[in-house]
Amino acid sequence: MRRLSATYLPVLVARIGSGAGAAVTSFLFPGHELAVGAILAVYPLLEALGSFTAGRYADRFGRRPAMVLGYLARLAATALMYPALAWGAGPLAVGVLNAASGFFTAFILVSSLAMVTDLTEVGNRGLGMGAFELTNLGGYAVGYIIGAALFHVLGGAGSFAALAAFTAVLTPAVLAMAETAPVKGISIPLNPFKGLPPSTWPAIPLWFALTTFIGMGIYSGRAIAGVLSLSSKFAHIESSLLLSGALIVIGLGAVFFGRLSDRWGRERTLNLGIAGVMSALVVLAVLLWTGSSPLHAIALASPLVFLASAIAPSVLAIVGDRALVAMRGTAMGLYSVVLGVGMALGAMVGAASAVALGGLIGIVLAALAIFSTATALYIALRILTARIRKYNGDIQRNPQRTEPP
């Protein structure tokens, strides 16, 4: 248990840094809405690109080397943000450093997920993945609050200096982590889907939609702050508290529903999460459309947001249960690719929908359209993979038959 708990520490540090960095970045460069959206998008996009490399690296050379590489490189990128902003760097330079930070964060997340899979079994893997998701989202939520507060007190450059110091202090604990890989040093197929059976495919559209919402949520802090600034001097902090509260609710729910998936089943728990997300988005859209404040709308929708937290641990446990042992890192890298691309797209969609459709209500309507599409794809893929399994079963029962009668 102690080894399992230790795997979450680097994720917590990285996600506090990610959340704080996103909060600070979202408040930089007033008047450059699309530029800020692009800076926010490039982080998860490079995280996605780095995930495939990170997964193969973790399978080939071990989880610990991948973790240490990602942590130290991320520390360097965060530290360089201070001189860049102090010397008046523009969106391009900040975007490049944000991209580097995202790329190396992938090594932390992928190696941690592979470690959790190594150290758990089918009977407790849902709980382990739920704890990962709590660390992931909870760290981001706490980081977002910290980032907003740091920006209010220290400005952009000072905020990143403080984040770099925080990351550096915890470096010895990361360096002390032990290896968990059951096998390493073997040749890994280039195609990451080789490690995942067809039964894992239906969950991918849902996971992509959910991660898109994270990116949209990052940008929505800017939209919410714009609404709250009409009546408050602390709009940045208030918007961060609102979004962070929602993330913490989802993170706590991930632990509960992760355990439920161990007892009740992965697919049943996943379906419960689908119903929660759809209901939450409909309620939010109706409340905002009728003129409710963001605080009131999110408070009323929070029970449904809690149900939505069933999706992430179910998807992660499904992947962990069914991935080939020798390709666990690669499989979790594929998960992180979806995470990064979804967050990148979400940041851009959040900015575009806010501009085109009128602020926060536009973001919610775009999210509803995305999730409706993802749910339709999930149902279609469930039907397709069921037919594939049935066909393969028929072939095994009748090996002499080589073509349909």
The pLDDT assigned to 286 comes to 92
pLDDT at residue 394 is higher than 60: no
1 assigned to some structural domain: no
387 assigned to some structural domain: yes
**What number is the average pLDDT over the span 268-278?**
92
Q: How many CB atoms lie within 10 A of CB 154?
A: 14
pLDDT at residue 372 is higher than 90: yes
* Domains contained in the chain, number: 1
User: Mean pLDDT for the chain?
Assistant: 83
Whose CA is closest to 23, among 40, 9, 38?
40
Exposure string over 267-296, b if 16+ CB within 10 A, otherwise e: eebbebbbebbbbbbebbbebbeeeeebbe
Contact 213, 276 (CB under 8 A): no
Tell me which of 73-82, 140-149, 175-184, 392-401 is least confident.
392-401
Ramachandran area for residue 62 (φ above 0: left; ψ -120 to 50: alpha; else beta): left
Question: For residue 120, what is the domain's CATH number?
Answer: 1.20.1250.20
pLDDT at residue 374 is higher than 90: yes
pLDDT tens, residue by residue, 92-145: 888 999 999 999 999 999 999 989 988 888 888 899 999 998 898 889 888 988
39 assigned to some structural domain: yes
Tell me which of 59-63, 80-84, 156-160, 392-396 is least confident.
392-396
As a whole number of angstroms, the distance between CA 8 and CA 111 comes to: 10
29 assigned to some structural domain: yes
The pLDDT assigned to 197 comes to 77
CA end-to-end span of the chain, whole Å?
A: 55
pLDDT at residue 401 is higher than 50: no
Largest CA distance in the chain: 76
Tell me which of 120-124, 364-368, 387-391 is least confident.
387-391
The pLDDT assigned to 240 comes to 65
184 assigned to some structural domain: no
- The residue type found at 159 is S
pLDDT tens, residue by residue, 153-202: 898 899 999 999 999 999 999 999 888 877 665 666 666 667 777 788 88
The pLDDT assigned to 3 comes to 76
Q: How many CB atoms lie within 10 A of CB 375?
A: 17
Q: What single-letter DSSP state applies at residue 199?
A: G
The pLDDT assigned to 379 comes to 93
The pLDDT assigned to 183 comes to 63
The pLDDT assigned to 218 comes to 66
The pLDDT assigned to 288 comes to 84
Tokens of 314: 């179910």
As a whole number of angstroms, the distance between CA 369 and CA 267 comes to: 23
The DSSP string of 54-74 is HHHHHHHH-HHHHHHHHHHHH
The pLDDT assigned to 72 comes to 97
The pLDDT assigned to 404 comes to 39
Task: Specify the higher pLDDT residue, 23 or 182.
Answer: 23
pLDDT at residue 376 is higher than 90: yes
As a whole number of angstroms, the distance between CA 141 and CA 243 comes to: 7
Tokens of 262: 């161990």
The pLDDT assigned to 31 comes to 67
Alpha carbons within 13 A on the beta-carbon side of 18 = 36
Overall size of the chain counted in residues:
405
Q: How many CB atoms lie within 10 A of CB 27?
A: 22
CA 211 to chain centre: 5
Instruction: Indicate the pLDDT class of residue 259, thresholds 50, 70 and 90.
Output: very high
pLDDT at residue 396 is higher than 80: no
Give the domain extent around 68. 9-175+192-395
Tokens of 379: 């149902």
Alpha carbons within 13 A on the beta-carbon side of 328 = 26
Task: Specify the higher pLDDT residue, 199 or 242.
Answer: 199
58 assigned to some structural domain: yes
Lookup result for tokens 């279609």: 380
As a whole number of angstroms, the distance between CA 25 and CA 257 comes to: 32
As a whole number of angstroms, the distance between CA 213 and CA 334 comes to: 18
**What number is the average pLDDT over the span 338-360?**
78
The pLDDT assigned to 405 comes to 36
Highest mean pLDDT among 73-87, 118-132, 358-372: 73-87
Instruction: Indicate the pLDDT class of residue 358, thresholds 50, 70 and 90.
Output: confident
187 assigned to some structural domain: no
φ and ψ at residue 179, rounded to 5 degrees: -75, 145
As a whole number of angstroms, the distance between CA 93 and CA 95 comes to: 5
The pLDDT assigned to 228 comes to 60
Tokens of 157: 């450059």
Contact 115, 316 (CB under 8 A): no
How far CA 378 is from CA of 10, 157, 160, 356, 373, in Å, comes to 32, 43, 40, 28, 9
Is the pTM higher than 0.85? The answer reads no
Tell me which of 7-16, 174-183, 229-238 is least confident.
229-238
Contact 362, 356 (CB under 8 A): yes
**What number is the average pLDDT over the span 348-353?**
81
